[in-house]
A and B are shown apart, each in its own frame.
Chain A
Amino acid sequence: MRRVYCDANATTPLLPEVMEAMRPYFMEQFGNASSIHLHGQQAHRAVDEARETMARFFNCREAEVVFNSGGTEGDNAAIFGLLRPGDHFITTSIEHSAVLQAAARMEQRSVDVTYIAPKASGLIDPADVEAALRPSTRLISVMLANNETGVLQPVAEIGKIAAAVGAFFHIDAVQGAGKVTLDVRRMGCHVLTISAHKMYGPKGIGANYVRRGTPIEALIVGGSHERRQRAGTANVPAIVGLGKAAELAMESLEDGTIDRLAVLRDRLEAGILAIPGTRVNGAWDGERVPRTANTTNITFDQLEGEALVIALDLKGVAVSGGSACHSGSTEPSHVLMAMGLDKNAARASLRFSLMKTATDADVDQILRIVPEAVERLRALSPVAAGTLG
């Protein structure tokens, strides 16, 4: 069976060039980047080259790049590293759990947290952020792109609001990286978090942009790696992979790959919306809401999203619905519920996120399989009786 992977917001495969770039650093050039001998120097050079690429990727100085283990660590590092008891923290109710759970922990440590709710479109209104400001507001954290809907938040405007009051600004750009051009200067952030595996790099590696002079306390301490901002032996092959993935991501943004992806996504979306009783979440707010090029989130009326995900998987189409809970089953998306969907509608919603390598044939196949599966599920009225409650 030909399978179509349409869950790129969960993770992506390595591009072959990334694999090739990493390969020498597992066995031949295995050195510890902190060692002074030749092996160490080779590793150090590889890390430096990746750092250079990341500086271009973020539009920052090389010294402002901190490699870490990925998005969760990056988000945690920003929040735990900047907030102290008594501070006020502004974030949104649609953040990834790496931010929300960190915020919840800070609440237990005498940090006051304000969670800004999105509009029905999924957009955070900068005016709401401004209205939440207090003299004690030390940090604002807003995601660049939402993982469920792809909606792009007005981070540059929020950056200006933060700057006006001297608050720190963190952007979780895990879902935006590789899909839109990053520019930490324009976005006005102090910390920005990305992860390699969402942009065709390896899992277990990511990076934070940390603006020079930002008093961020290290989350992980030990050796003096990463200018004392993140201890632990540099994961050289993964860092090289991240650098290569970032380089390819910048190419894709320039050579029209991402624009083409938006066209494919629009065709996919239109095809699914041809099914009666379907709606896009996070597309309209009077006008088209800016979204990442690969994502669409669709509610299917009168349907159990979890069953549709399974049915599609068994037919060779990989998509996702809701967020995974501890057991591996799904819970209704907190993002969609924050946008005002009720539990049933949230449960009946699926996220389609195309890979940048997606083809017309992939979209054709999805559009062949989805309507049929939806019809089948809807046709099955609840099995008779069995209700001897």
Chain B
Amino acid sequence: MSGGVDSSTAAAMLAHEGASVVGLTLQLWDQTRLAGKNGIPEAPKAGRCCSLDDVYDARKVAEQLGIPYYVVNQEERFERDVVRPFVSEYLAGRTPIPCSLCNNHLKFDQLLQTARSIGASCIATGHYAVNEYDAARDRWILKRPADLAKDQTYFLFGLTQEQLAHTLFPLGRMTKPEVREVARKHGLRLAEKPDSQEICFIPGGDYKQFLTAYLEEQGEEMPETAGEMVAASGQVLGRHDGIASFTVGQRKGLRLSSPSPLYVLQIDPANHRVTVGGDDELATSTLRARRLNWISIPELTAPMRVKIKIRHRHEPAWAMLAPAGDGEVVATFDEPQRAVTPGQSAVFYDGDEVVGGGWIV
């Protein structure tokens, strides 16, 4: 329970159905930890995970529902498995997705383990996704939810069969307005609470500010990665202060003058080189992904027609997906896709079903 309307409503629905429900909140990050450092706001705004206000809200909901409620401290694990990799990925010139890491390591691994060790048979979350068992395939299937605007399957591609078998998504067949309506019906006073959008541990959403403050707190130097900005032709257009400031597809903050808009095309961490180019050069027709997880199939053994989502707000695009050996797959898009970004995940869909996914190389 994050203290938001989704997990609160999920808990309320289950409690009212008569299930024996225990509320758990993961304490993942101390929002006051970097406050006031390197321009990070002193007082974190509400509506972010692990802020005291959110824990308070979650606890109030549990009290209202009359269910036992506990806050579980997983700050260390979160820092090790989510924050650290997030920092290293940026420093290595990639663009990480902490939410997927958090789902893989904390929410559906550690939390499920905690839930089972306290005697619960499964966990329920407020994610918008559908999971169901398909007897014909003898597999648990993850599907896109009724409310496609809230679809969170992109962040859930790492769920194992074991995890899917012990997870409930009570909101999967509801739309957000319906969820708010149910929350109102159950008298949850946070029914109108706005959705959280940002990365929970980065107040204000300025990840560069966070990187600097975090490294400073850790007594580590920001690695020197200043280098050249080049065109695809290799022509040097200027210099930059460090590759961690860039992400593929970025247009703002390049500090280059050009008659037409320039975008980051590629980041070469070894040579600290950032390649830029026009909008037309940003599109690529293939991607490679590794560290794969398969959901609707046991393994990809032959090429398969799928739709692929390459970032959270991306409209899945048709592609042919093929095994490439060495634990990798290669996807060839029907139409070239803008800003295929290393570090993000690629999630493969067959209709509404999540076939699987992996991390873009």
Contact = CB atoms under 8 A, between A and B. Distances in A.
A, B co-complexed: yes
Contacts of B163: 383, 385-386
B280 to A, nearest CB: 33
Interface in B18-53: 22, 25, 27, 30, 50, 52
A386 B114 contact: no
Nearest to A386: B109
A304 B108 CA distance: 17
Contacts of A108: none
Interface stretch (B154-162, B211-219, B328-336): B154-162
Contacts of B114: 304, 306-307, 310
Nearest to A326: B52
Contact of A387 (B105, B112, B166): B105
A343 B80 CA distance: 15
Contact of B162 (A310, A383, A387): A383
A338 to B, nearest CB: 19
A307 B117 contact: yes
A329 B27 contact: yes
What range describes how many residues of A lie at the interface?
A: 20 to 34
B73 A389 contact: no
Interface majority SS (helix, strand, loop, mixed), chain A: loop
A389 B68 contact: no
Nearest to B345: A388
B72 interface: yes
A380 B101 contact: no
Interface string B107-143: 0110011101111000000000000000000000000
Contact of B52 (A327, A330, A386): A327
Nearest to A384: B162
Given A325-B73, A388-B158, A382 B55 contact: no
A380 B293 contact: no
A388 B291 contact: yes
Contact of A327 (B27, B101, B109): B27
B70 interface: yes
A387 B117 contact: no
Interface in B338-352: none
B279 interface: no
B81 interface: yes
Nearest to A324: B71
Contacts of A306: 72-73, 114
A376 interface: yes
Given A331-B73, A388-B158, 18 more contacts: A308-B117, A310-B70, A327-B27, A327-B50, A327-B55, A327-B73, A328-B59, A328-B71, A330-B73, A382-B113, A383-B163, A384-B160, A386-B105, A386-B109, A388-B291, A389-B85, A389-B104, A389-B105
27 contacts: A306-B72, A306-B73, A307-B114, A310-B70, A310-B72, A311-B118, A313-B68, A314-B68, A314-B118, A315-B119, A327-B55, A327-B71, A329-B71, A376-B119, A380-B117, A382-B113, A383-B113, A383-B116, A383-B162, A384-B162, A385-B160, A386-B105, A386-B159, A386-B163, A388-B291, A388-B292, A389-B81
Interface of B: 22, 25, 27, 30, 50, 52, 55, 59, 68, 70-73, 76, 81, 85, 100-101, 104-105, 108-109, 112-114, 116-119, 158-160, 162-163, 166, 291-293, 358-359
